Structure 1
């Protein structure tokens, strides 16, 4: 009997030995791809597949809003709705908890994947970022790699600035932008609320020059821009939403330059020194200070301030003048730094104090300075003066769409390989210097009226957001080559629930086919973004001018446009007419191809028109502006037309024919 048991035991051991040896020797899971890159990863063996409807459990009621927001994003990504609850966790759950850990800092977190997903962080911000990491992993695969991530940023400020002064940026887009930024752990969105165009594009006439102040204003009725603005209550709600996503909305009223909207409203505030134009405030006029004091009180004052962030940006860039004027400018800057502090806000300013050198003291304690130009503010000097600084160097991170200067699209390879926030236009600061708070990039809409749409801006932002997110979180500590990063990044896409690029799939494919498009019908696809091919057969009929072929709230493809009767398209108030119309009883195969540069119309295989960039001259040819005629192709709603449209095919790439 003992012999038989011994034989059986040896047999079992012999049977199990290969499996045990295999488990012991199995390779640990490599660090998964995310943007930003995970700071530390200890790989385990195997994968975790979450239940079809997992439960999100949180340890503290303070985490309930984060759990609910995560559940919404999880549903947008997977199509299933997780339950959320306070309490104890079980196998297959996603567990969120607050746990002290001095090594993780304010935004760090621990993410452990085993029989369940466990997220812990000292503060709520870390929990938010961990949920975004988890969403990025799930975007790539439903099988989560077993292992433990410990992650924290190099810099507390990781941001983006958008110029809403020269071009109105709708609030519904800013919500989408916040979601995309949070998905990549970017935590500051700076909204530049007032500015003006260059007068040489407006007949050299300040009265004709574009200018806008984008906030609802009760104390100066009529100051608010007519072509788009933000109501106070909706702006408060937007800031609250962004804060729940871990994103701080920094609002800027830019003074004393870039102020045509203010001086047009109150002419006695306009510069009269003979050196500066009407877009500069008069630093000697009492009216200037009365107006600005009133404005600041309207937005920063009271029990329910309009600007809810603990920070407020007062501008202070590019004011020109002689040495006496610069002393006045310095006094002006110091005055409004102190004024902002009286409202309990941290003052933020553009770096200008090298350009505006002088003897008048400008307060530095508790002041954050954006370092954008070394000619205007030398980085090491500003740090020496005691300013906290944010790296936003114009030679690296300024996007000015189709302006012909700075960048139309940022140079991602150069940024990834050579830049961190410690590189300020070539001046190197110590990495993680205590006064260096982080880095940002920016879109400046210098050329109002150039045809650039919000979609075009978003295309440029998303082109670089993963790279800038990585470099402001990881600094110089990245392990992937740029080629490997560039190859992997498209797999992450936009935040769950956001597809403002209107992209479908990462490989060339046909994304929609319909045998017939009936008049007045609703299509299953909203739109298609760059690059795309849309083609169909059409049998013409008599159509009235203004006949729609396809339409969404943002764009219209005209079968017969309202002006010429030709095929064409419109978006954001711009009408572009093709040099082609479809006559009754004609039969054609139409193909329209769009990129971020052009829209091309082919009829029966022949290129008929190409809506590429064109240049418009001003002031007798002394000044030129590029005009862009791109189109995110609208699909959702077919118009009411008499023609017969069939064999619709929509592809997410440029086809060969």
Structure 2
């Protein structure tokens, strides 16, 4: 058995082989299975998505990520010039204006958006509802004396503009030719578990832009929304409703559907810790804050109220309830009330797992009553139940179980491939991008290696980011670490021929294409290395005692002889704050820790510690009116000053007196330690 991280996800050993590659090329397999006729992510209806024939790449084929399914070269090139306009119809106007902003970076000027008769050198965006060959996400691109992008929908047009941007990233001269490019998988997703940590809005915005550049279209977010109904759950990390609305709106502009998740009935400690009466109690009478008591009607009401709050903020067609690892590190026999509940409801042959499946089905009925479709992980489906899982539920398959991915497809469930070969765990392991590329991984390669048919029910695949050891890796490092494997994944789920013969060449191509215009710098370090004084409303930042020793609390001094600090930039976009007097580093590492060993508690004191490589000693300077916030790179909370001179961390949305004026003073410029 694999060892497990705190969230329960198994750690694949370094030698773990990828699922055995199926014999036929993925595009042919998916097309023959009818996957491309499945329902498309979006407004919720089903629509035919025709197969695009995978044509081998040639020397004349532009090298893109993901690659084009086909390309007919036209000979010669086209340069967009000073007279280039974007000519659009009404449906394409939002994309046209978006593209105009992006082209300002690529072309160095604002490209006008017009409607009318296109001219030579223009970019022409059109929607054509009669183009059934393009499905809901495909597009055609023709480059001759102008650039013509046509989609059956606005989404298809948008993806055509992503191809245009990548072509411009390679060369200012566009190759003449044409393509009809249709994805092989309807869902091309990224999952982010912001479940025990906080990924900043800026980081999620960059991820969304990166996803769109790679034609990825679903963002699965497990996060906690700050609650007015249940204020006791508002321990950090959480997202405010305002933050969620902005994230969803940003995703919508990039044609990305956001799928919210509240994991249940297991992994519920972010919500259940303050409510012991709703926790499942074992035979010793001990309640477990990670497990919801699914036999308690009040517990079901509590969970559905949380669901209601999410559904108000996330307008997409899906809701994800997790449903994984309810009995992680335990057994149903430790909770005999589940057996009693199941037999009372379903008869003497019922099993404890029937109580679990019944809970999932009840949540499904509730979610359907709200006009949404439920999604779950597969690992609770071990085949020990007599009550069947509702057929309308979408199953995301990540772990081999007795009920295989092929059985789920055979039984008519819509299934997404969320194999752990595509897991990025902060501070632990990453997907093996080279192996995935070299072995031609595709969405039919499930973790259990059983899929051979009924592919019309296979929705696509998902790349997942987990926070299990996030205290060891900053989100900026994660952003860098995801870069190669996310591009291999995007290539596989779009489904065209390989754009490069080997992984080394693919990596070079990825570096050449980079990020979309508008992605911005990976991070901003607004101040140079040097010696500074840091002053907030409560005084200047310093150590509470002199001489300071490791563990000394930081304080706000109200004195003219203000302490000084060295700002030492790190290679991942932060600073170390080193006290000039003691040589100790500002840190947040003392106090109550969460189950991932991070001091996430609001109000925890900042202290001076021996300088180490600890990521909690890295600080982000966030420019705000009047100065900067000092935000810890791991806890993602900002330093505030209290009336007693204390310096503690607080979430941004509740922080007061957290603006620091940072003034340079003559000093020796240190280097990063």
TM-score by length of 2: 0.69
3-state SS of 2:437 partner: helix
Query: Relative to structure 1, is the Cα distance of residues 85 and 431 closer, same or farther in structure 2, using a 3 angstrom cutoff?
Result: farther
Q: CA RMSD in A?
A: 3.7
Report the equivalent of 1:495.
516
- Cα distance in 2 for residues equivalent to 1:340 and 1:398: 28
3-state SS of 1:280 partner: strand
Report the equivalent of 1:397.
422
Matched, 1:313 2:323: no
Kept in 2, the 8 Å contact 1:161–1:189? The answer is yes
- After TM superposition, give the deviation of residue 417 of structure 1 in Å: 2.7
- Cα distance in 2 for residues equivalent to 1:370 and 1:235: 23
Report the equivalent of 1:63.
92
Report the equivalent of 2:574.
555
Matched, 1:218 2:228: yes
Deviation larger for 255-264 or 429-438: 429-438
Matched, 1:640 2:649: no
Kept in 2, the 8 Å contact 1:561–1:577? The answer is no
Post-superposition Cα deviations, 1:69-115, rounded to whole Å, max 9, x if no partner, equal: 11112223343211112222111111100123222211111111111
- After TM superposition, give the deviation of residue 368 of structure 1 in Å: 1.1
1:226-265 to 2 correspondence within 5 Å? 227-265=236-274
Post-superposition Cα deviations, 1:502-550, rounded to whole Å, max 9, x if no partner, equal: 599xxxxxxx9x9x98979xxxxxxxxxxxxxxxxxxxxxx96442436
Query: Relative to structure 1, is the Cα distance of residues 595 and 230 closer, same or farther in structure 2, using a 3 angstrom cutoff?
Result: closer
- Cα distance in 2 for residues equivalent to 1:328 and 1:127: 47
Aligned residues: 511
Kept in 2, the 8 Å contact 1:557–1:570? The answer is no
- Cα distance in 2 for residues equivalent to 1:346 and 1:297: 14
Higher strand share: 1
- After TM superposition, give the deviation of residue 451 of structure 1 in Å: 3.3
Which of residues 267, 283, 290 is equivalent to 1:279? 290
3-state SS of 2:290 partner: coil
Kept in 2, the 8 Å contact 1:53–1:83? The answer is no
Post-superposition Cα deviations, 1:10-40, rounded to whole Å, max 9, x if no partner, equal: xxxxxxxxxxxxxxxxxx9711111001111
Query: Relative to structure 1, is the Cα distance of residues 463 and 153 closer, same or farther in structure 2, using a 3 angstrom cutoff?
Result: same
Query: Relative to structure 1, is the Cα distance of residues 595 and 256 closer, same or farther in structure 2, using a 3 angstrom cutoff?
Result: closer
Report the equivalent of 1:98.
127
Which of residues 418, 421, 439 is equivalent to 2:461? 439
- Cα distance in 1 for residues equivalent to 2:394 and 2:496: 20
- Cα distance in 2 for residues equivalent to 1:457 and 1:245: 22
Matched, 1:459 2:480: yes
- After TM superposition, give the deviation of residue 346 of structure 1 in Å: 1.2
Kept in 2, the 8 Å contact 1:110–1:130? The answer is yes
3-state SS of 1:640 partner: strand
1:509-520 to 2 correspondence within 5 Å? none
- After TM superposition, give the deviation of residue 337 of structure 1 in Å: 1.0
Report the equivalent of 1:341.
368
1:153-172 to 2 correspondence within 5 Å? 153-172=183-202
- Cα distance in 2 for residues equivalent to 1:306 and 1:98: 29
- Cα distance in 2 for residues equivalent to 1:222 and 1:578: 35
Query: Relative to structure 1, is the Cα distance of residues 215 and 579 closer, same or farther in structure 2, using a 3 angstrom cutoff?
Result: closer
Relative CO higher for 1 or 2, CA cutoff 8 Å, sep ≥ 6?
Answer: 2
Kept in 1, the 8 Å contact 2:261–2:319? The answer is yes
- After TM superposition, give the deviation of residue 422 of structure 1 in Å: 0.2
Kept in 2, the 8 Å contact 1:517–1:638? The answer is no
Kept in 2, the 8 Å contact 1:119–1:130? The answer is yes
- Cα distance in 2 for residues equivalent to 1:649 and 1:358: 61
Matched, 1:117 2:142: no
Kept in 2, the 8 Å contact 1:389–1:435? The answer is yes
Higher Cα Rg: structure 1 or 2?
1
Report the equivalent of 2:445.
423
- After TM superposition, give the deviation of residue 286 of structure 1 in Å: 2.1
Kept in 2, the 8 Å contact 1:561–1:568? The answer is no
3-state SS of 2:233 partner: coil
Report the equivalent of 2:158.
128
Kept in 2, the 8 Å contact 1:422–1:431? The answer is no
TM-score by length of 1: 0.70
